[in-house]
Amino acid sequence: MSKFKTKIMGILNVNEDSFFKNSRFKENEAIERIEKLIDDGAKIIDIGAVSSRPGSLPVKPEIELERVKNIADLIYSNKLYEKAKFSIDSYEPLVIDYVLNKGFSIVNDITGLQNEEVIKLCAKYNATTVIMHMQKDPTLMQENPVYEDVVVEVKDFLKQQALKAESFGVKEIILDVGIGFGKTLKHNLKLLKNLKEFEDLGYELLIGASRKSMIDKIVPSSIEQRLPGTIAVHLESINNGASIIRCHDVKEHFQAIKVLEAIKEI
């Protein structure tokens, strides 16, 4: 287990095409949903306005901001940031700049800080940044991904980007190996099995495998049927050093993690 305390990051999507429809919410439902995620045990709420599922197409930054703007305003006016940390699942400076002024304190960048403007914003606002590894981009990432050694290559990329972020003045960094982002089932399993290899980098590790297709490749199942496999992946990730679990089903994960912790502590 990690030296960091285990935390759950609950997912809230405000787009039309996120792969798990139960995580999509309209503005008028969003505050209620956020409060439920917090009550269920989420310490971080990750809000995304653009789908990053395989094959998804990019959205103009102005449209992304339009989708998230009102929710960010409501979070700020209701002071919900006093109850949990808020993360923006985005790599667009326009969007990131807006929400970091509205109580958000984490930037979850699936491109792994490829845009230096994002790094500058994280440093300016003293925001925590999540650096994720992805091969190619969401449109093409699952078309025959190839690595010589997936663990070594992902680790090298994350280390390089973390050092770059620090050189810009970013103080809080979380690493994400990017399960399902430009990886085959074998790549995903190898990364999960070897998470301890990333511990010596010294940063917190986030894992997000919630209801992903890797589970379907092991046991054929629809998105709605993948909660047991999700929890299995996430508990094993905690055993191997992850401390932040990004998931759709917060209440179920909270119970599973508490049971795991009770066994560890006895």
Q: How far apart are CA 131 and CA 149, in angstroms?
A: 20
Does the pLDDT value for residue 58 go beyond 90?
no
Mean pLDDT of the chain, nearest integer: 92
Sketch out the chain's domains with CATH numbers.
7-265 (3.20.20.20)
Distance of CA 52 to the CA centre of its chain: 11
Q: Is 246 a catalytic residue?
A: yes
Task: Point out the catalytic residue in the list 120, 212, 217, 251.
Answer: 212
Q: What is the pLDDT of residue 170?
A: 98
Among residues 189, 182, 180, the alpha carbon closest in space to that of 246 is found at: 180
Structure-model confidence comparison of residues 67 and 176, the more confident one: 176
Q: What is the pLDDT of residue 202?
A: 97
Task: Point out the catalytic residue in the list 246, 251, 258, 264.
Answer: 246
Does the pLDDT value for residue 29 go beyond 90?
no
Residue-wise pLDDT for 197-217, tens only, equals 999 999 999 999 999 999 999
Q: What is the pLDDT of residue 145?
A: 86
Q: What is the pLDDT of residue 250?
A: 98
Range of lowest pLDDT (32-41, 129-138, 219-228, 249-258)? 129-138
pLDDT bin (cut points 50, 70, 90) of residue 1 is confident
Q: What is the pLDDT of residue 105?
A: 98
% of the chain beyond a pLDDT of 70 = 91
Strands 85-89 and 106-109: parallel
Q: Which residues contact 101 (CB under 8 A, 6 or more apart)?
A: 125
Does the pLDDT value for residue 70 go beyond 60?
yes
Q: What is the pLDDT of residue 27?
A: 65
Q: What is the pLDDT of residue 263?
A: 97
**Across residues 30-56, what is the average pLDDT?**
89
Q: What is the pLDDT of residue 30?
A: 83
Q: What is the pLDDT of residue 138?
A: 60
Query: 3-state class of 14 per DSSP?
Result: coil
Residue count (the chain): 266
Strand partners, 173: 129
**Across residues 229-240, what is the average pLDDT?**
98
Residue-wise pLDDT for 98-146, tens only, equals 999 999 999 999 999 999 999 999 999 999 999 999 986 665 656 678 8
Q: What is the pLDDT of residue 59?
A: 86
Does the pLDDT value for residue 95 go beyond 60?
yes
**Across residues 227-250, what is the average pLDDT?**
98
Does the pLDDT value for residue 176 go beyond 70?
yes
Q: How far apart are CA 143 and CA 138, in angstroms?
A: 10
Range of lowest pLDDT (18-22, 111-115, 216-220, 241-245)? 18-22
Q: Is 43 a catalytic residue?
A: no
Q: What is the pLDDT of residue 23?
A: 46
First to last CA, the chain: 14
